[in-house]
């Protein structure tokens, strides 16, 4: 019997998790694990939609598992696992492919952006189909809530559409999931260009603070972060860079943006950035140190992922069987 509502979210093991993924996703995952039955997945199959070096991918999966634990996810409480180890994800993905529409996938902005980089003609079919596998991830666990950053809103909308369409074609089967996008941290922008989101595929490493950057590297990146014209530390549409930096400060502390603005009244950008650098270093150093410690024992990490996959498989199997029956595959 399912007693608690479920949460599902995933993150790609593509290396260099950053302040954006922390504030937009990981930090909220830690907060929800108390209250919900939580599934947190390293979506290695999604990572393969763009070319990957097998050695690097293998290392990145472990690094991500270490980061999960280091930020505070508790494997006793949350189910932490790797997507490729639960075959039902791709199986349900296929079934959902049969009801997803070409028009819907063609409208996905992430596909348009990412496929443009190497030329749309040579983008993988999997990159195009990416959001359907994502819907399968979520629907397989009948998750009620999906904590993600703002950039995932469109994908989540497709998951909802597919759940509703399936239910109306074949009868009530899937929970229609709700996105959980918190205001603070939902869209952290690049430090060197506040019009772009902070991203690990950012062309310049100065644009993002990796969770594993050394403290001095972090300090330097914050010191060099772009600012706006003027000198007052305030958030406003005319000050996208300061708005972003204030959002980061607020996301990492318990303070509100307006409280921080008050605190820096009459002070300049320099003072603010210096303090922000310390706030970031203080928040990320323990995560970095714990991650590095955990990486010393890869067997332990592999064990956590395998134990998680075993638990996930049970739920996934039962949903898939139910789905088969609905579609006449039983």
Among 186, 130, 197, 120, CA closest to 158 = 130
- Residue 146-175 contact track with ligand LTN, rule CB under 6 A, x = bound: x-x---x--x--------------------
Among 61, 127, 138, 284, indicate the residue that binds ligand LTN (CB under 6 A). 138
Grouping H, G, I as helix, E, B as strand and the rest as coil, residue 178 is: strand
How far is residue 145's CA from residue 159's CA, in Å, rounded to a whole number?
Answer: 12
Question: Closest CB to ligand LTN belongs to which residue?
Answer: 10
Among 43, 64, 80, 127, indicate the residue that binds ligand LTN (CB under 6 A). 43
Q: Which is nearer to ligand LTN, 129 or 228 (CB)?
A: 129
Count the residues in the chain: 330
User: Least distance in Å: CB of 146 to ligand ATP?
Assistant: 9
Hey, what long-range contacts does 52-57 have (CB within 8 A, 24 or more apart)? 52/14, 56/15, 57/13
User: Least distance in Å: CB of 21 to ligand LTN?
Assistant: 8
Binder of residue 134, out of ligand LTN, ligand ATP, none (CB less than 5 to 8 A by kind): ligand LTN
Alpha helices (H) along 119-152: 125-140
The pair of three-digit structure tokens given for residue 132, joined into one six-digit string? 């359907």
How far is CA 280 from each of CA 179, 181, 185, 187, rounded to the nearest angstrom?
A: 27, 22, 13, 17
Residue 142 in the binding site for ligand ATP (CB under 6 A): no
Beta bridge partners of 147: 180
**197 annotated active-site:** yes
Q: Which is nearer to ligand ATP, 23 or 312 (CB)?
A: 23
Q: Which of residues 3-32 bind ligand LTN (CB under 6 A)?
A: 8-12
- Residue 105-134 contact track with ligand LTN, rule CB under 6 A, x = bound: -----------------------------x
Among 295, 282, 278, CA closest to 67 = 295
Q: Which is nearer to ligand LTN, 8 or 272 (CB)?
A: 8
Q: Are 294 and 71 in contact (CB under 8 A)?
A: no
Q: Which of residues 157-186 bind ligand ATP (CB under 6 A)?
A: 185-186
Q: Which is nearer to ligand ATP, 115 or 152 (CB)?
A: 152
User: Least distance in Å: CB of 45 to ligand LTN?
Assistant: 9
How do 193-197 and 189-190 pair as beta strands? Answer: antiparallel
Residue 38 in the binding site for ligand ATP (CB under 6 A): no
197, 221, 239, 273: the catalytic one is: 197
Binder of residue 210, out of ligand LTN, ligand ATP, none (CB less than 5 to 8 A by kind): none
Beta bridge partners of 15: none
Q: Which residue has tokens 């972003």?
A: 244
How far is residue 81's CA from residue 307's CA, in Å, rounded to a whole number?
Answer: 8
Residue 38 in the binding site for ligand LTN (CB under 6 A): no
Q: Are 241 and 225 in contact (CB under 8 A)?
A: yes
Catalytic positions, written as ranges:
114, 197, 200
* Binding residues for ligand ATP (CB under 6 A): 11-12, 20-21, 23-25, 148-149, 151-152, 185-188, 197-201
């Amino acid at each position: 019997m399912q007693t608690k509502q479920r949460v599902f979210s995933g993150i790609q093991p593509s290396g260099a998790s950053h302040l954006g993924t922390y504030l937009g996703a990981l930090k909220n995952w830690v907060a929800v694990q108390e209250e919900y039955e939580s599934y947190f997945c390293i979506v290695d199959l999604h990572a393969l939609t763009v070319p990957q070096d097998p050695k690097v991918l293998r290392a990145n999966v472990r690094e991500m598992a270490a980061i999960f634990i280091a930020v505070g996810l508790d494997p006793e409480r949350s189910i932490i696992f790797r997507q490729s180890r639960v075959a039902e994800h791709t199986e349900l993905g296929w079934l959902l492919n049969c009801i997803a529409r070409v028009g819907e996938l063609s409208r996905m902005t992430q596909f348009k952006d990412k496929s443009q980089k190497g030329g749309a003609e040579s983008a993988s079919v999997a990159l195009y189909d990416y959001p359907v596998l994502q819907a399968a991830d979520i629907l397989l666990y009948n998750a009620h809530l999906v904590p993600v950053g703002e950039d995932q809103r469109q994908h989540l909308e497709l998951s909802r559409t597919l759940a509703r369409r399936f239910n109306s074609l074949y009868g009530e089967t899937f929970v229609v999931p709700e996105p959980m996008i918190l205001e603070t941290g939902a869209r952290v922008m690049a430090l060197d260009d506040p019009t772009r989101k902070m991203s690990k595929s950012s062309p310049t490493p100065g644009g993002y603070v990796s969770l594993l950057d050394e403290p001095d590297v972090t300090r330097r990146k914050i010191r060099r972060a772009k600012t706006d014209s003027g000198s007052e530390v305030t958030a406003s549409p005319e000050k996208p860079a300061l708005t972003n930096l204030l959002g980061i400060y607020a996301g990492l502390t318990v303070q509100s943006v307006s409280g921080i603005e008050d605190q820096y009244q009459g002070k300049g950008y320099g003072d603010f950035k210096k303090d922000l650098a310390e706030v970031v270093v203080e928040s990320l150093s323990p995560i970095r140190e714990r991650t590095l410690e955990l990486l010393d024992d890869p067997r332990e990490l592999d064990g956590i992922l395998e134990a998680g996959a075993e638990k996930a498989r049970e739920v996934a199997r039962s949903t898939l069987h139910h789905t088969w029956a609905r579609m006449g595959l039983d």
